[in-house]
Amino acid sequence: LLVQNYDPSTLITGIQPAWSLVIELVFYLALPVLVLAALMLTRQTKTRTQRVLALLFPAALMAAIGISSLILGPHYTQDLNTWQAVWYFSFLTHAHLFAPGLALAVARIEYEDGRFRLPSRWRPAAAVAAAAVAVTALWLFGEEAVPAATASALIALSFGAFVALVV
């Protein structure tokens, strides 16, 4: 049923990586609402810039939810049988990881419609920057210099750049 993330006694039971499927399921259930909100906002716009900002609303909202949940909520605990762990493994604390993909979708549509152009050599620069951010995040996490949530956010940004290279 994919509800194991909502009770400390069932968190991380069964197939352990399934906790992330619950988060993805919530995102895909929320996605139509996010799209409708963006469409409603675009109807109120008068300029192209306002339209793009309205379309970026879902990405901004997801980033705000995820980052604020990590800052304001309880932090990670090794004890997985607590409500603190349920919070940490919730959609709220991972929402920001969907923001780069949502923003990339808007950028791609703008690009396809001829309204967004990048410099001719952006791909090599983006690849180097994305690799540098990913390696740095992994190194900092390995050295325990940053929390796992920070490393995950940096890796999500770098992977968003890698995806941008191919789409």
Q: Cβ distance 102 to 58 under 8 Å?
A: yes
- Tens digits of per-residue pLDDT, 24-52? 999 999 999 999 999 999 999 999 999 99
Is a pLDDT exceeding 80 seen at residue 2? no
Calculate the average pLDDT of the chain.
89
Per-residue pLDDT averaged across 134-142, rounded? 90
DSSP string, 48-91: HHHHHHHHTHHHHHHHHHHHHHHHHSPPP-S-SSSHHHHHHTSS
Q: Which long-range contacts (CB under 8 A, 24 or more apart) does 52-60 make?
A: 52/106, 52/110, 55/106, 55/109, 56/102, 56/103, 56/106, 58/31, 58/34, 58/102, 59/98, 59/99, 59/100, 59/102, 59/103, 59/106, 60/99
Q: How confident is the model at residue 96 (pLDDT cuts 50, 70, 90)?
A: very high
Confidence bin at 1 (pLDDT 50/70/90): low
